[in-house]
Amino acid sequence: MAVTNVADLTIVPVTPAQARAASDNMYPHWGQPNGVVSTDEYIKAFDSIAATGPWDTAYTAWALVPRSDPTTVDILSHCQTFRRRAFVVQPGSDTVKQVTSYVVAHVFTPPEKRSMGMARHMLRLLHYTLAPKDDLPTFPKAWGAPPTTHYGDAAFSVLYSDVGPDFYQGCTVGEDRPGWVATPTDKRTWPVGQGESTWDPEWEAIDLAQAKQLEVTATAANCQAMPRTGDRTRTRVAFEYTNGSFRFSPVRGAVIDVASHKRKNLDGLTVGVRLGAPSGVERPYIIYTARIRGGAGTKKMRIAHVQHPVPFDALLRVARAAGAQEIELWGDDSSWDAEEHEVTREKEIPCLASYSLGKNVEWLWCEQ
């Protein structure tokens, strides 16, 4: 490839033609293996996520391009960001502050352009679009001119790495501040096995509208609990659930199922279950998605959030009713640790880049 000098490159929000090119690139990697029938269906699926939730306005797709030809569809690397509200508590403080942050997703370099530092440079530039100028080192001379799009409101940003912990740390802020640093989080997996597979008659399905309500109550509860949670000697951050956290995974799974003709539409989508009897007091609940990822293999029930107390037996009944063979839970919830399970940390490693929060940051309730 002709371009080798990073000073000649920049990062831009994509044009519609570049968005199409990026989808054409991503479809064979993330669409087709999940059974999505065409790039058009893949695009439609993601458009319909935006139309269903509160996260749409906050979405940007980015491309690394030659500065001399910023609208080219021959993109060198691309990624996406989603703006998310989050809370921060400073060490020893009881005051919870609201900040802006970003989730980085779908980092992709076309196969013929790989191993040339393209993704790394794009992500190094990305810091300069997201963070306030005062929180960034001077833009390195060797990188040419800073990106012209500057949101400048991120206290921090995060991503989930499927390529280990090192690559994203090397996507530095400036020339040598570490980029996204791994904050390894336990993932617990329980086998489901045979047994009762129907819901208790008192349980109720949670739909999208109810999930939205629960996001509000769970966010308020976290906000209250935050000063007393985690390591008080560290700065602690947590995402607000009101970003659509309880709806995003089920909706994303369902639109992919629609795009792969496994489901007709999103009507009647259940995103969780409320346990116990309807009595007015807060009932325990589980927000989850049960899917087979990658088009084949095990059906997994991935838990997005649990409001305890949820007895393990009840969890198994929910999983069996959903046809799942395994249950996955992220984070530090040890409530069901007495049951046979496996703990792993290697896949989808949460990583965090701090801009205005210093180096010593703990990510609370790091759920997926």
What single-letter amino acid sits at 54? Answer: P
Residues 229-268: x/- map of binding to ligand COA (CB under 6 A)? ----------------------------------------
Contact between 64 and ligand COA per CB under 6 A? no
Span interacting with ligand COA, options 80-88, 108-116, 217-225, 360-368, rule CB under 6 A: 108-116
CA–CA gap between residue 324 and residue 353 (Å, rounded): 35
Binding window for ligand COA (CB under 6 A); candidates: 163-171, 207-215, 302-310, 331-339: 163-171
Q: Applying CB under 6 A, does 104 fall inside the site for ligand COA? A: no
**Does the protein bind ligand COA through residue 120 (CB under 6 A)?**
yes
Backbone angles phi, psi at 68, to 5 degrees: -75, -10
Of the residues 3, 11, 86, 107, which one makes contact with ligand COA according to CB under 6 A: 107
φ/ψ region of 362 (left if φ > 0, alpha if ψ in -120 to 50, else beta) reads beta
Cβ(156)–Cβ(355) under 8 Å? Answer: yes
Q: Does residue number 323 form part of the binding site for ligand COA (CB under 6 A)?
A: no
- Total interface residues for ligand COA by CB under 6 A: 17
Nearer to ligand COA (CB atom), residue 123 or residue 327: 123
**Span from 93-101, 157-165, 175-183, 301-309 in contact with ligand COA (CB under 6 A):** 157-165
The piece of 40-48, 90-98, 109-117, 183-191 that touches ligand COA (CB under 6 A) is 109-117
Minimum separation from the CB atom of position 4 to ligand COA (A):
12
- Residue 313 is inside which H or E element, if any? helix 312-321
Nearest Cα neighbor of 76 from 23, 125, 117 is 117
Assess 99 for contact with ligand COA (CB under 6 A): no
Nearer to ligand COA, 50 or 163 (CB): 163
Query: What is the phi-psi region of residue 331: left when phi exceeds 0, alpha when psi lies from -120 to 50, beta otherwise?
Result: left
Residue 88 in the binding site for ligand COA (CB under 6 A): no
Q: Smallest distance, Å, CB 28 to ligand COA? A: 10
Residue 168 near residue 123, CB atoms below 8 Å: yes
* Radius of gyration of the chain from its Cα atoms, rounded to whole angstroms: 21
Report the C-alpha gap between 225 and 221 in whole angstroms: 6
Of 240, 318, 235, 218, residue with least CA distance to 276: 318
Does position 28 interact with ligand COA (CB under 6 A)? The reply is no
95 sits near ligand COA (criterion: CB under 6 A): no
Are 9 and 64 in contact, with CB atoms under 8 Å apart?
yes
Contact call for residue 165 and ligand COA (CB under 6 A): no
Q: Which is nearer to ligand COA, 82 or 190 (CB)?
A: 82
Cα–Cα distance, 94 to 19 (Å, whole number): 43
77 vs 222, beta carbon nearer ligand COA: 77
Sheet holding 204-206, edge to edge: 204-206, 272-274, 285-292, 299-307, 326-330, 187-191, 342-344
Q: Which residues bind ligand COA (CB under 6 A)?
A: 29, 77, 107-109, 114-120, 161-164, 167
